[in-house]
Amino acid sequence: MAPDRPEEAVYENTWCAIAPAVSVGIFVGGALYWLAWVVVLPRVGDYKLVPRQDVLSDGTHVTVFDKVKHA
């Protein structure tokens, strides 16, 4: 929300919605990255991602995705 009076503005030359715009941009960038990694690249590369559970040396459980070529 913009300030009521111009003298209340902390940044005079900055768009007041810069923080929400950056947040939405980061969210959209993450969604595009996921779409490319999970949907587009497996179709283009003719493989599928198969999840597998693994345990790290410190005991942490993680999910690892293996590329499996289509038969």
- The pTM assigned to this predicted structure is 0.68
- Please write the tens of the pLDDT for every residue from 31-64: 999 999 999 999 999 999 999 999 999 999 999 9
Q: Residue 45 CB: number of other CB atoms within 10 A? A: 11
Judged on CB neighbours under 10 Å (0-12, 13-18, 19+), 42 is middle
Residue 65: what pLDDT? 96
